[in-house]
Structure 1
Amino acid sequence: MSESYEYVPHPLLRRRVRDVASGSEGELMAVVNENVSDSVVYERWMELAYIRGASGREWSTVVANVESAAK
């Protein structure tokens, strides 16, 4: 089994973004290609965006849900 994650460059890193799935806004902290499988036999990789809100709490969402919050 390979590494369970790897960092991916993204043009919106360290910028204010909106998670369209939740409607929440925050700073894009990282984009990670992560193995989200719960099986050793079958790997399922997904690009996840980690966003930090104003409260300091972070959440993850699929990268396709991230858009710039700049007006």
Structure 2
Amino acid sequence: MDGVLVASRLTLTFEIGTTGTGDPIFRNKNFNNIKTLASDEQLRNTGIALATLQKHSLEKMDRSNTISL
């Protein structure tokens, strides 16, 4: 039995600064209700485009899928 993909979320993680000891501080921006049929490449390109609109540098990008069993 295969699961059914029911939801996707794109998370962009930005480095917004450093602590007093020099450790990086990160903040996430989540985009819910992503089309489940969107390819990883499409999400990557979208994430890069969104990151260019931010003042902080993009550290990483993640896709989270919810699967109904």
Shorter-normalised TM range: under 0.3
Task: Determine which structure has the larger helix proportion and give its number.
Answer: 2
Higher relative contact order (Cα pairs below 8 Å, separated by 6+ residues): 2
Question: Normalised by the size of structure 1, how large is the TM-score?
Answer: 0.26
More strand by percentage: 2
